[in-house]
Chains A and B, each alone.
Chain A
Amino acid sequence: MNAPSRPNDYAAYPDADGRFGDYGGRYVAETLMPLVHDLDGAYTAAKNDPAFQAELTGYLTHYVGRPSPLYFAERLSKKLGARIWFKREELNHTGAHKINNCMGQILLAQRMGKTRIIAETGAGQHGVASATVCARFGLPCVVYMGAVDVERQKPNVFRMNLLGAEVRPVTSGAATLKDAMNEAMRDWVTNVSDTYYMIGTAAGPHPYPAMVRDFQSVIGAETRAQILKEEGRLPDAVVACVGGGSNAIGMFHPFLADESVRLIGVEASGHGLDTDKHAASLTGGRPGVLHGNKTYLLQDDDGQILDAHSISAGLDYPGIGPEHSWLHDVGRASYMTCTDDEALAAFHETAMLEGIIPALESAHAIAKLPEVAKQVGPDGVIVLCLSGRGDKDVGTVAAAMGLNL
């Protein structure tokens, strides 16, 4: 087996077949293949069209509220012994990074003449962002959401309803994000002429992993410029949580060529890697094919996909975007893990020290800051992607504390 070599030019990936090394590709039913090719063509044209980019930038500025601030987390820095900055994606409209991608995709869907939007959601953040842009542009929106997630993320379900979206609970399998994605793909294959599938993470058949990464790269591009202005130099480390991995890849990508910058993803290890209740695809899985791409997956000896577990619904997925699998194998990024309990502790600490209630997803990344701070030392500079706000999680956190709101 050939070990992947470190590429000279990260921006050249994926290749024309949608490959990041051995990962990615287009593993969907034939009925969808012509649509996937159409999307690839439409996205490539839009990407190279200054008018499209100008329109997107306009909405990101005036509707989403970009650029998001880069904030010096002074008290946390003092406590942990490093210079820690938060990239405040939770201050975006709808409260998470998800809207960056949805804004790009809704403009693309309109260019393609699509009249109906479908999406999958786990925590509901992507569902809310999808429902939001659909409301803004007047398109009907159907969101598939695992029945278990519908139950644990009720406020987001109601938000989607308020925005005019139809939320369809999915009861098959474990009734979480993976099953919602299956159901969205079934809808897409049934409604091929009018429907645009708005995937929420940097996974799925090509061009989704590259396209979602590109739309999310605004995070890293802004961060790079902001930290150079604030610190006069590049950070030593950049940290982000990883489920499917869209906030992480958006943060990492503009730093890939800066070899001095450590890129650190944090996977959810749930009850622990030594249990069967975790969601750490890279650390605890192996390569396979699911949902249109080849990537690391949690699977059993027979190649059946296992149910993931994380206290954070947004990380509760047995796969990961293919570019992360590649960055992991070539060693450009490293991946740590964080348990439910560690994430909860970081959630509370961030609220108390910085006055910011982070999403449980983001809390996974925060929980690893002490380790990263030790690596970079007191003068080291760390940027953490604070991907979402935690309002949606207060019920989950209360339950973990034994409280009933």
Chain B
Amino acid sequence: MSRIDAKFAALATEGRAAFITYIMAGDPDAATALEIMKGLPGAGADLIELGMPFSDPMAEGPTIQFAAQRSLAGGMSVTGTLDTVRAFRKDDDTTPVILMGYLNPVLNRGFETFARDAAAAGVDGLIIVDCPTEESGPLADALEPVGISLIRLVAPTTDDARLALMVRRTSGFVYYVSVAGVTGVKEADADAVAPAVARVRAASGLPVAVGFGIKTPERAAGVARVADAVVVGSVLVDEIAAAISSGSNENVTQKVLSKAAALAKAVCDARVGDA
């Protein structure tokens, strides 16, 4: 059983939603990003999405755009991202790690080489924002033999016919993008999330994670009541940006982890008292 499947099975037994955190490799620097990553499971993260920086992150709002710029300015790369995962895996062999990024750096490395290197580093899943189902065949061909899940993004604009097509070669979970927009800007419409999650779950038979626009513990709890997982990213990355702009880099790890802990608690407690 993959780490992702094991984690969702365990959480299903507990009767709660998973809390998924996103940070970017190399932000604000390689060592600090690794330190934050290592602390996230202790702060309540059930799965970790690690951003692979790209020069042209077309689906990101300003928060993640600036994170990518900081990361690349510090020399982060695909190799460096995989090194971060490898270092994380020395102490943690259970928390699933999903890489999230754009196609060109992966294509540039070669799909087979990337898949082999990522599997060796301990990567469990891959989300490629600009690789829709129609174009993902060669990538899926490379990932399936090494056991890395190709995780699909489903959008509010995705109709049932597309959805049926999209879930064919996917595993792990499905990521429902709860707003039409870039990351970290618009807030998800809570009422629209529940039926969308049900629709995606029925089509895929997989756990459904919901992300984009989840900024507060209240909103995280609301989503946790109806989805199998809650993804937060920009609010955590905002803590890094704030620490940098205030000139006090020292406590950045602690600030991100305490923000994560507050959101994790909200997700954890969301269904307590539910019948």
Residues of A at under 8 Å CB distance from B?
17, 25-35, 172-173, 178-179, 182, 185-186, 189-192, 288-292, 297, 299, 301-306
Partner of B108, one of A29, A185, A303: A303
Decide if A173 touches B55 in the complex (CB within 8 Å). yes
Instruction: Kindly list chain A residues whose C-beta atoms are within 8 Å of the C-beta of B129.
Output: 29
CB interface residues, B 121-151, toward A, < 8 Å? 129-135
Instruction: Kindly list chain A residues whose C-beta atoms are within 8 Å of the C-beta of B105.
Output: 302-304
Decide if B132 touches A30 in the complex (CB within 8 Å). yes
Partner of B135, one of A25, A186, A191, A303: A25
Given A288-B108, A303-B107, A305-B104; A33-B132 close (CB under 8 Å) = yes
Decide if B55 touches A305 in the complex (CB within 8 Å). yes
The chain B residue sitting closest to A286, CB to CB, is B108
The chain A residue sitting closest to B155, CB to CB, is A31
The chain B residue sitting closest to A302, CB to CB, is B77
Decide if A29 touches B162 in the complex (CB within 8 Å). no
Residues of B at under 8 Å CB distance from A?
53-61, 65, 69, 72, 77-79, 102-109, 129-135, 152-159, 162, 166, 177, 180-182, 185-186
Q: How far is the CA of A302 from the CA of B68 in the complex (A)?
A: 14
Decide if B157 touches A185 in the complex (CB within 8 Å). no
Q: B71 to chain A: closest CB distance in Å?
A: 11
Instruction: Kindly list chain B residues whose C-beta atoms are within 8 Å of the C-beta of A35.
Output: 157
Instruction: Kindly list chain B residues whose C-beta atoms are within 8 Å of the C-beta of A291.
Output: 56, 58
Q: A144 to chain B: closest CB distance in Å?
A: 12
Q: Could you jot down 23 A-B contacts, CB within 8 Å?
A: A29-B132, A30-B153, A30-B166, A30-B177, A31-B180, A33-B132, A33-B134, A33-B158, A33-B162, A182-B57, A182-B58, A186-B59, A189-B180, A288-B104, A290-B56, A291-B56, A291-B58, A297-B104, A303-B105, A304-B54, A304-B55, A304-B104, A305-B56
Q: How far is the CA of A127 from the CA of B44 in the complex (A)?
A: 48
Partner of A192, one of B58, B109, B180, B185: B180
Q: How far is the CA of A288 from the CA of B79 in the complex (A)?
A: 18
Q: A379 to chain B: closest CB distance in Å?
A: 47
Q: How far is the CA of A172 from the CA of B68 in the complex (A)?
A: 11
* Contacts between the two chains (Cβ within 8 Å), count: 121
Q: How far is the CA of A179 from the CA of B60 in the complex (A)?
A: 13
Instruction: Kindly list chain A residues whose C-beta atoms are within 8 Å of the C-beta of B106.
Output: 303
Decide if B108 touches A302 in the complex (CB within 8 Å). yes
Partner of A190, one of B130, B154, B181: B181
Instruction: Kindly list chain A residues whose C-beta atoms are within 8 Å of the C-beta of B104.
Output: 288-290, 297, 299, 303-305
| Chain B CB within 10 Å, residue with most, of A179, A190, A302, A305 | A302
Decide if A31 touches B157 in the complex (CB within 8 Å). yes
Q: How far is the CA of A192 from the CA of B157 in the complex (A)?
A: 8
User: 5 tightest CB-CB pairs across the interface, nearest first?
Assistant: A303-B108, A303-B105, A31-B155, A190-B181, A304-B55
The chain A residue sitting closest to B177, CB to CB, is A31
Q: How far is the CA of A290 from the CA of B158 in the complex (A)?
A: 22
The chain B residue sitting closest to A297, CB to CB, is B104
Q: How far is the CA of A377 from the CA of B146 in the complex (A)?
A: 59
Decide if A30 touches B108 in the complex (CB within 8 Å). no
Q: How far is the CA of A189 from the CA of B84 in the complex (A)?
A: 31
Decide if B103 touches A29 in the complex (CB within 8 Å). no
| Chain B CB within 10 Å, residue with most, of A31, A32, A290, A291 | A31
